[in-house]
Chain A
Amino acid sequence: MKYLNSRNRAILREMVGTDFKVRYQNSALGYLWSLLKPLFLFAILYIVFTYIIPLGKDVPHYPVYLLTGVVLWSFFTEATTMGALSVVSHGDLIRKIKIPRYLVVIASSMSALINLGLNLTVILIFALINGVVPSFSWLLLIPLIAELFFLALGVSFLLSSLYVKFRDISYIWEIFIQAGFYATPIIYPLTIVPMNMHKWFFLNPVAQIIQDARYVLVTRSSITLWSTVQSIWAVTPFVIMITVVIIGFIYFKRRSKYFAEDI
């Protein structure tokens, strides 16, 4: 593959490695934080949503169900927010060396992916403790994560090239992500929403991914796109996703020639 030859792979590895090494520099616990952070977040969410606002008391294994949504959404947030900034924050590199520009975006998405991996490990342990029965359907998480990664990458390509010219993008995206957090069934189960509204939620590819992930990992009671829309219209979120990704790739490719002078 031309795009990921050994040179580019070496660049990716070093960039992702640097990111990871630098992130917990100067902290006493170091890498341990990348596990401790999700653990504490989970503990807080667990307390809030089981004892204070028990939104999901009917959902089996609700803590795991909740955490799966939170973790996938935070991956999407982290990947796209860091991705949007990636080109500008690597301005020094881009102005001084000819490396494929897409590598800085991929590297930032991969850093987020590593975090997702660590978080998922913690979730799987949680799931086992919570009494979720391990099953082969867990393997279906892999294509779902791939789908989410691909989506985040496409959005990052679009945002990062826009951000070079329009710095407002980072604020707009922040608001968008905030809105998205509530528009996606993350902290509430879809069951609290009227049935006829469900299909509108599934226009959002992230909602489809999160509900599917809950289905394969936690409970068959998770409402999915497939149980909601049983017609050809079920392809809509995928069409939206692929459109975003294609636009992102094309726009990035067109603008990337001028990054060095526009930053």
Chain B
Amino acid sequence: MVSDKPKIAISIENLHKEFILPQSKNSTLKQAAVNIVKRNKKVTQKVLDGVSFNVNEGDFLGIIGRNGSGKSTLLKLIAGVYEPTSGNIYTYGGITPFIELGVGFNPELSGHDNVYLNGALLGFDRKQMDAMYDEIVSFAELGPFMDQKLKNYSSGMQVRLAFSIAIKAENDILIFDEVLAVGDSNFQEKCIRQFTKLKLSGKTIILVSHSMTMIEKFCSRVLLINAGKLVYDGNASDAIDRYEALNMEMPALVAEAEKIIDDRDVAVKYIDILDINNKASDIIESGKDFSIRFGVNSKKDIGESFISVRICDAETQYVVVGFDSKLDKKSIMIKQGDNEFVIHIKDNPILRGKYYMVIGIYESEEKKTHYFQYDGLSMGNFFLIKTKEEQLGIIKINRKWD
């Protein structure tokens, strides 16, 4: 190894982007005049709220997030289309200046003219375009159609042409936003081969996609953006798990239960899931040990009580497994103030999925019930179970065939 530190291709420091919301925009002079008099406050919307990360040379970086999470804004900032509100973006090396294919395509021009037009916008002069024209046409497989107007092309043909030009814009840093959604499977195959080639050649590539298959297949590193913040930066499969967790709606039952916790004398204050290394995590693995650690706060000494634990499937809300201290013949004492309990689970039999937890505390009279959920309000409060091997269903049972 010549150098032990990878070279940085893009460095992003504490990036903020705010937009002024359209209703307060002065689109006529009258409004502008009225607003000057009224001194209207600007209504702004934070789209990116302090994002920092580095991209190393040769990274194949995926960016995922729900619609409206800010990932397209981030791309536009990196490509230089938008100006950051605050924060810095440093890029080292040539960067593709576009975030969408076929920018500037004019339906009234022929395929040939559109190649030159689009090429110019991507930064090629006429000579360079002349040199690569044939290659673009043959990659797009559109040879016989180049003299026809673009408006007579099918949408698939247009995308093929656009992609074939874009792929030639071999800058050091390439940005692709949802590019492979179109084209027949044959052409997609070709694009994937091209991607693989680019990946092997050590280019830095940023891919934004909703296709988790693409992300998993290519990206060595994935950023998950949610509500303008970078919530995860790491390997593809973990990022995808978390992304999928974001996409699930919060169970209605949990939301209801949320409301009644606070005015109780006894309340569960926190629940941590501890993985096999005893570290708090919201991702654990099937087959491995894990622990549940939770804190209970009480306004008075309750004394003998019992605690029930249920693990529920986030999607169906079915109880996957439930147990309580009474059944387990474990005596629980709750004193005034904070109490902490830990339950160790051996060889977690639950298979991959998204779960939440409901913990109930019952006073001995069995009348007053204090529920607390592992609340589903934000993603951190669901937990995910990963399963490495191929298994069906939601639990794994030990089995032997004869």
Contacts and interface: CB of A to CB of B under 8 A. Distances in A.
Interface of A: 6-7, 9-11, 13-15, 17-18, 21-22, 25, 92-99, 165-168, 257-258, 260-262
A168 B28 CA distance: 6
Interface stretch (B98-106, B211-219, B232-240): B98-106
Contacts of A14: 116-117, 120-121
Contacts of B81: 94-98, 260
Nearest to B18: A261
A258 B27 CA distance: 15
A10 B79 contact: no
B32 interface: yes
Contact of B125 (A10, A99, A165, A167): A10
Contacts of B109: 18, 21-22
A18 B129 CA distance: 16
B124 A10 contact: yes
Given A18-B117, A22-B108, A165-B26, A96 B98 contact: yes
Most chain A C-beta atoms within 10 Å of own C-beta, residue among B79, B80, B125: B125
26 contacts: A10-B120, A10-B124, A10-B125, A10-B126, A11-B121, A13-B120, A14-B117, A14-B120, A18-B106, A22-B108, A93-B104, A94-B81, A95-B81, A96-B98, A97-B79, A97-B97, A97-B99, A97-B103, A97-B122, A98-B80, A98-B97, A99-B121, A165-B26, A166-B29, A168-B30, A260-B82
10 closest A-B pairs by beta carbon, nearest first, are A98-B97, A98-B80, A14-B120, A10-B120, A257-B83, A10-B125, A97-B98, A6-B125, A14-B117, A168-B29
B76 A165 contact: no
B123 interface: yes
Interface range on chain B (Cβ under 8 Å from partner): 35 or more
Contacts of A99: 97, 121
Given A18-B113, A261-B19, A261-B82, A93 B103 contact: yes
A97 to B, nearest CB: 4
Contacts of A21: 108-109, 113
Contacts of B79: 97-98
A262 B81 CA distance: 12
B28 A167 contact: yes
A93 B106 CA distance: 11
A85 to B, nearest CB: 15
B330 interface: no
Contacts, number: 87
- Classify the interface of chain A: helix, strand, loop or mixed: helix
B42 interface: no
B100 A96 contact: yes
B103 A9 contact: no
Contacts of B116: 14
B193 interface: no
A205 to B, nearest CB: 25
Nearest to B31: A166
A255 B24 CA distance: 18
B25 interface: yes
Contacts of A7: 120, 123-125
Interface of B: 19, 25-30, 32, 76, 79-83, 97-100, 103-104, 106, 108-109, 113, 116-117, 119-126, 129
Nearest to A25: B108
Given A18-B117, A97-B121, 9 more contacts: A7-B123, A7-B124, A13-B120, A15-B117, A95-B76, A98-B98, A166-B27, A166-B32, A260-B81
A166 B113 contact: no
B15 to A, nearest CB: 15
Contacts of A261: 19, 82
A15 B82 CA distance: 22
A13 B126 contact: yes
A58 to B, nearest CB: 44
Nearest to A21: B109
A168 B31 CA distance: 11
A96 B113 CA distance: 20
Nearest to B29: A168
A89 to B, nearest CB: 12
B26 A166 contact: yes
A23 to B, nearest CB: 10
Nearest to B17: A261
A129 B21 CA distance: 61
Contacts of A168: 28-30
B222 to A, nearest CB: 24
A18 B126 CA distance: 15
Contacts of A15: 117, 120
A167 B98 contact: no
B97 to A, nearest CB: 4
Given A21-B113, A166-B27, A257-B83, A92 B104 contact: yes
B34 to A, nearest CB: 13
Contact of A92 (B27, B32, B103, B122): B103
Given A18-B113, A165-B27, A166-B32, A97 B125 contact: no
B194 to A, nearest CB: 21
Most chain B C-beta atoms within 10 Å of own C-beta, residue among A7, A25, A167: A7
Nearest to B110: A21
Most chain A C-beta atoms within 10 Å of own C-beta, residue among B108, B120, B124, B126: B120
B125 A9 contact: yes
B342 to A, nearest CB: 51
Contacts of B117: 14-15, 17-18
Contacts of A6: 125
A75 B104 CA distance: 26
Contacts of B122: 97
Contacts of A17: 113, 117
Given A7-B125, A21-B109, A97 B104 contact: yes
B124 A96 contact: no
A198 to B, nearest CB: 34
B26 to A, nearest CB: 6
